[in-house]
């Protein structure tokens, strides 16, 4: 507790929110840290838990663009997390790190004005898959003492790996049909050659009725066939399991722009996000 108090005194204030940097959620690696952004005088505010992308190999918690100001203005506490990366660790370790960061958030966020029972789990690209998995496979949250009822919603942004066997086969068949070499850094390389592992690390595998899965808002780039197909597949299974789901097919954008613009008030996808979030946390 004393460490946290000293660190908070060194926090930065800018753009209408206070930032608490490099809070540790684990001791195994320097990447097991997170940042907290709180608006002025916060108390029992909903929490946006953000997971960066980067293909599970790059990226950083500081890559939040307009999101800190947006969430502060909307009356949220924002948590942005780092996690260990491939190839230094296996994929399962990355899932465990994100779950551990979520566990830290649930246990500690009240100190920063957040409500531990109103958490929205969000992520972009690789972070979209991580966010979705945490919200459908209860093993991860349960291991860190986070009740599923505390997760009020999930917002995966432009992920292409909700169904791993499908994306692996799609990519490899496309390359083969065009007589092109197989990817040297593709999903099979990152997730290994074990077909059962591909199934187990697929979000779609773990969607069932009556599991307490929170509602989903799936954002994806409209013009990209792979992320579109993955979003449609995820949405269909959620609907079959009676999980509320909204799908936004974002036009006139690309993978990186969709994420970078999220949080800009003149962005149509941000307006849709605001509408959905208000229903989830009321």
CA distance 31 to 25: 9
Active-site residue identified among 125, 150, 241, 268? 125
* Nearest CA among 32, 23, 31, 25 for reference residue 3: 23
Q: Are 187 and 161 in contact (CB under 8 A)?
A: yes
Identify which of 193, 212, 207, 123 has the alpha carbon closest to the alpha carbon of residue 163.
Answer: 207
Between CA 97 and CA 278 the distance in angstroms is: 28
Burial class (CB in 10 A: 0-12, 13-18, 19+), 7: middle
Using an 8 Å Cβ cutoff, are 201 and 191 in contact? yes
Per DSSP, what are the bridge partners of residue 23? 34
**Length, in residues, of the chain:** 282
The verdict on whether 125 is a catalytic residue reads yes
Dist. CA 220–CA 160, nearest whole Å: 9
The DSSP call for residue 193 is S
- Residues labelled catalytic: 125
């Amino acid at each position: 507790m004393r460490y946290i108090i000293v660190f908070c005194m060194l926090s930065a204030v800018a753009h209408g929110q206070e930032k608490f940097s490099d809070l540790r959620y684990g001791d195994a690696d320097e990447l097991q840290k997170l940042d907290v952004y709180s608006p002025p005088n916060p108390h029992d505010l909903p929490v946006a838990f953000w997971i960066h992308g980067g293909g599970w190999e790059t990226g950083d918690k500081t890559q939040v663009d307009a999101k800190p100001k947006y969430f502060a203005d909307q009356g949220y506490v924002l948590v942005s997390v780092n996690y260990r990366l491939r190839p230094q660790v296996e994929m399962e370790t990355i899932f465990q790190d994100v779950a551990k960061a979520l566990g830290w958030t649930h246990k500690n966020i009240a100190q920063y004005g957040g409500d531990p029972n109103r958490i929205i789990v969000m992520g972009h690209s690789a972070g979209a898959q991580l966010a979705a998995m945490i919200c459908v496979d209860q093993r991860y949250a349960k291991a860190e003492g986070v009740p599923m009822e505390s997760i009020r919603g999930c917002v995966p942004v432009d992920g292409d790996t909700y169904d791993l066997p499908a994306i692996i086969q799609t990519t490899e068949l496309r390359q083969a049909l065009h007589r092109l070499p197989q990817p040297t850094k593709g999903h099979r390389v990152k997730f290994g050659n074990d077909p059962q592992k591909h199934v187990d690390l697929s979000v779609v595998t773990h969607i069932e009725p009556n599991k307490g899965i929170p509602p989903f808002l799936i954002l994806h780039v409209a013009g990209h066939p792979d992320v579109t197909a993955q979003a449609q597949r995820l949405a269909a299974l959620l609907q079959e399991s009676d999980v509320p789901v909204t799908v936004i097919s974002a036009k006139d954008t690309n993978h990186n722009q969709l994420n970078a613009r999220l949080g800009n008030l003149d962005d149509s996808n941000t307006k849709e996000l605001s509408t959905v979030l208000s229903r989830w946390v009321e």
